[in-house]
Amino acid sequence: MLVKKESIPLLHMILVGLLPSFIKIMVYRLRGYKIDKSVSVAFGAVVIGKKVSIGSFSKVGMFTIIRADEIAIGRHVTIGSMSVMDTGKIFIDDDARVNEQVYVGGMKTPESEIRLGKRTIVMQMSYLNPTLPIHVGDDSGIGGHCLLFTHASWNSMLDGFPVKFAPIKIGRKVWLPWRVFIMPGAEIGDEVVIAANSLVNGIIPRNTLAAGSPAKVIRENFPQKPDNKERDNMVNHILGEFCRYLVYNAYQADLSSALHGVVLKIAGKKNAKIHYVSSADKFVVSGSEDVYVLLNGNNDDLKSLLKRGAGMAVTLSENVRAGSNDAGEELLRFFSRYGVRFGRID
């Protein structure tokens, strides 16, 4: 054989993978990898590439293998335990997440590439085959047990059987629930939901709901955007559920009305308050453990709040965040249950 098939990198996993994370990162830096601060590569995990960069606060779980000629992992990325990502090029943007036991690999070509946008997720037990490129846009989710193939072949093309090699493109804010099969050449537009157990083998236009095998559009102009009053009611509901969640987890939490909005008071190891108001000028900043949630605001409003001493601030009109503290990170994790995710301006 002219081309030797790559095997599991057992020697690398023994010699490097079993090292403590901080020593492993030192070894990788000596090899020329660009690794920022507070990166963790857990026990048994390895990262193997010719050109590698990993952004700050990113984590690779136990016994995970990441191997490619070029690897670029952004900030605050989490890759779960016992996953394998083995292809030509791997690009994972900020705040993306790959869960446990995800497999990315298969036949390699010069074009083999996986690209995951900001705040994307690939859930457990999914299989992605980027023989040709797979591109997933920002804020899109791939549920568990999903299958994405960029090549389809078995019986001989010379006998008339179909053979297809083609990339897959998935837009922004797309949701593939569990057990969705994506065929070579599929293109899914922005803000699309595909029903569970569907098969996509063509083009699905943006802002639609599609279902079936093969998947067909069953609703257009999807979703219907709520008005500001409806959004306000939704946020109050989420804060109420968050309060119940904290109490369930043994925190003292109380949600009450305030002059310009609502305040969620949290008592525990660190006392904190979550302020929810319509705009940034409606309250006085009280402490670095507090969180400020704006129904309407922009990047400048968030920066102003941090300068005034806020620990963390987010705006729901722009879906962006600034700063960090324990209460805020917990709140944003809870918001993600409702599909609300935030980009970073810092």
- Report yes or no: 180 and 140 within 8 Å, Cβ to Cβ: no
Q: DSSP secondary structure string, 81-106?
A: TT-EEESSEEEE-TT-EE-TT-EE--
Position 272 pLDDT exceeds 70: yes
Q: 101 versus 6: which is more confidently predicted?
A: 101
Asked if residue 168 has pLDDT above 70, the reply is yes
In whole angstroms, give the CA distance from residue 280 to residue 188: 37
Q: Which of 50, 89, 64, 58 is nearest to 9 (CA)?
A: 64
Q: For domain 10-219, give the CATH number.
A: 2.160.10.10
pLDDT at 285 exceeding the cut of 80: no
In this predicted structure, the answer to whether residue 83 has a pLDDT above a threshold of 70 is yes
- Cis link prior to 214 (omega < 30° from 0)? yes
**281 falls in which pLDDT band (50, 70, 90)?**
low
How far is residue 206's CA from residue 188's CA, in Å, rounded to a whole number? 7
Instruction: Return all residues near 99 (Cβ < 8 A) that are at least 6 apart.
Output: 80, 83, 121, 122, 123, 124, 144
As a whole number of angstroms, the distance between CA 85 and CA 52 comes to 14
Contacts of 128 (CB under 8 A, 6+ apart): 102, 103, 104, 114, 122, 134, 142, 148
> What element of type H or E holds 255?
strand 252-258
> What tokens does 222 get?
């999807």
Average pLDDT over residues 199-218: 97
The three-point CA angle 61-66-67 to 5° equals: 165
Amino acid at 230: E
Report the pLDDT value the prediction gives residue 191, as an integer from 0 to 100. 97
What is the average pLDDT value for the chain, to the nearest integer? 94
The residues, ordered by sequence, that sit 6+ positions from 37 with a Cβ below 8 Å of its Cβ are: 56, 57
| H or E element that contains 298 | none
3-state percent breakdown (helix, strand, coil) of the chain, nearest 5: 20, 30, 50
Q: Read off the pLDDT of residues 232-270 as tens digits, 9 standing for 90 and up.
A: 999 999 999 999 999 999 989 999 886 567 888 988 767
Q: Within the chain, which residue ranges are assigned CATH 2.160.10.10?
A: 10-219
Q: How far, rounded to the nearest angstrom, does the alpha carbon of residue 307 sit from its chain's CA centroid? A: 29
284 band by pLDDT with thresholds 50, 70 and 90: low
* Residue with the two structure tokens 């079993």: 18
The mean per-residue pLDDT over the stretch 47-65 comes to 98
Q: Compute the distance between CA of residue 309 and CA of residue 106 in angstroms, rounded to an integer.
A: 50
pLDDT at 61: 98
Let me know how long the chain is: 346
Predicted pLDDT at 238: 95
DSSP-assigned beta bridge partners for residue 65:
46, 84
Q: Please compute the mean of the pLDDT values over residues 132-157 and round it to a whole number.
A: 96
Q: What is the pLDDT of residue 282?
A: 60
Say which amino acid occupies 290. D
Compute the distance between CA of residue 308 and CA of residue 281 in angstroms, rounded to an integer: 11
The pLDDT of residue 318 is above 80: yes
How large is the average pLDDT for residues 311-340?
95
- 3-class SS of residue 307: helix
Give the global pTM: 0.93
At 287 the pLDDT is 75
Stretch 306-310: mean pLDDT: 88
Q: Which amino acid is at 124?
A: Q
Could you tell me the pLDDT band of residue 212, with boundaries at 50, 70 and 90?
very high
DSSP-assigned states of every residue in 270-294: S-EEEEEESSGGGS----TT-EEEE
For 93-142, the pLDDT digits (tens) are: 999 999 999 999 999 999 999 999 999 999 999 999 999 999 999 999 99
- Evaluate whether 66 touches 47 at the Cβ level (below 8 Å): yes
